[in-house]
Structure 1
């Protein structure tokens, strides 16, 4: 009777451990930060070159890894200085004397929950004289980068533990008979 109790106890412990692992792997519903505003606005045509590009997010973003790359109509970099993070706003200074044409803004930041998000916007400069940025306008839909989860790996690990426990229990029971 003692070996049977021990086997059943080990089986119960394995099942409980597997359930804990499965519960730990369940994804928590959370909304990642998203781009909500850009200056200049996405797709806007501005009369003169702005001195900076500004991106506004739904929540504070992490300073580490924040990247804003502005490319001019000729494919050359149009930035001057590093991106600055201030809470939910990321700003990148632009090079002086930008010419007219369409500029692409590629950005990548890490949201407060640790997930990277990225996207692109564009704006067109009608002239080449620097001007201060206008008011912040709502951004077009930016697509956040896909997030990864360790849920499937934990579920597989829990299933392996459970199968091993069942095999051990079956082996123990067979050895008794």
Structure 2
């Protein structure tokens, strides 16, 4: 019985790892001049064709969580988005997401939904401010 519990515990430890965003520029909660792109690095390569990335200005009183959900629900070419459509469709451990020129001052949310290597979707978001 003890060996069965040990095997289960070891198995759970290796199956729970999900892909994560390990670096982001602009950094979370930073204030920057209007950036030209968003740079993301991942803990492991991801399939870009199964991933979604969106950048959108937060509306007045809108929480980052609600902004991220709204951004991810938009089509890739929606006019509300600050990023252009992602054209890369390969396996990548990092990504540069081009932004539309001339971002206005305000708070922006960067939202992502990626497919982890183990098949689980991973969502997340970060915010930055353009001065």
After TM superposition, the score normalised by the length of structure 2 is 0.67
CA offsets per residue over residues 97-142 of structure 1, 9 Å max, x none? Answer: 111111011111112232211101000011xxxxxxxxxxxxxxxx
Deviation, structure 1 residue 89: 1.1
Query: How many angstroms apart in 1 are the aligned matches of 2:98 and 2:30?
Result: 18
Instruction: Give the aligned length.
Output: 101
Query: How many angstroms apart in 2 are the aligned matches of 1:125 and 1:119?
Result: 20
Unmatched tracts of structure 1, length 5 or more: 1-22, 127-177
Tell me what 1:92 maps to: 97
Tell me what 2:81 maps to: 77
Deviation, structure 1 residue 79: 1.1
Alignment RMSD (CA, Å): 2.3
Query: How many angstroms apart in 2 are the aligned matches of 1:83 and 1:56?
Result: 17
Q: Does 1:67 align with 2:72?
A: no
Query: Is the Cα contact below 8 Å between 2:23 and 2:40 reproduced in 1?
Result: yes
After TM superposition, the score normalised by the length of structure 1 is 0.51
Structure with greater strand percent: 2
Query: How many angstroms apart in 2 are the aligned matches of 1:59 and 1:92?
Result: 18
Tell me what 2:121 maps to: 116
1:83–1:124 Cα change, 3 Å: farther
Q: 1:107 aligns with which of 104, 112, 130?
A: 112
Q: 2:38 aligns with which of 35, 43, 53?
A: 53
Unmatched tracts of structure 2, length 5 or more: 1-7, 60-66, 68-79
Query: How many angstroms apart in 2 are the aligned matches of 1:125 and 1:28?
Result: 40
1:29–1:122 Cα change, 3 Å: same
Query: How many angstroms apart in 1 are the aligned matches of 2:30 and 2:110?
Result: 12
Query: How many angstroms apart in 1 are the aligned matches of 2:21 and 2:52?
Result: 14
